[in-house]
Structure 1
């Protein structure tokens, strides 16, 4: 967690809830990884705790700028 520059108001241990998930991936480009991250329909394929994702105010499954 030392590599994350946390804003002081969100420091781990100072908020009501804190969750961190890390995954080391190899053999993919940043572009390929980004496509999986911004498309919520793919989240279940690599994160078991993601299920039945619905984005509010979205017609599709892709995150938009500012989400």
Structure 2
């Protein structure tokens, strides 16, 4: 986490919520990882605690800049926006 250059307004501990998940992966490209992160239709296949995923733009299942979206994690509702 020390290698992340956080914008001042999003420093861990200064926002309403902060969660971090880290995984060391080999044999996969950054592009393939990113494709799985932005495609919400794949979340439930690798993250058991993602549910009720709803995007403001229903044209596809991928997150886009400035898009608002909702999902539940551990039963907790999250309303978010891609920044």
Q: TM-score range by the shorter chain?
A: 0.7 to 0.9
Residue matched to 2:46 = 46
Who wins on radius of gyration, i.e. which is larger? 1
Name the counterpart of 2:33.
33
CA distance 1:15–1:30, shift in 2 (3 Å): closer
Q: Which residue of 1 aligns with 2:10?
A: 10
Question: Alpha carbon RMSD of aligned pairs, Å?
Answer: 1.6
Whose RCO is larger (CA < 8 A, sep 6+)?
A: 1
TM-score, normalising length from structure 1?
0.77
Higher strand share: 2
Aligned residues: 66
| CA–CA separation in structure 2 for the residues paired with 1:51 and 1:12 | 24
**Is the counterpart of residue 20 in structure 1 residue 20 in structure 2?**
yes
Runs (4+) of structure 1 moved beyond 3 Å? none
TM-score by length of 2: 0.66
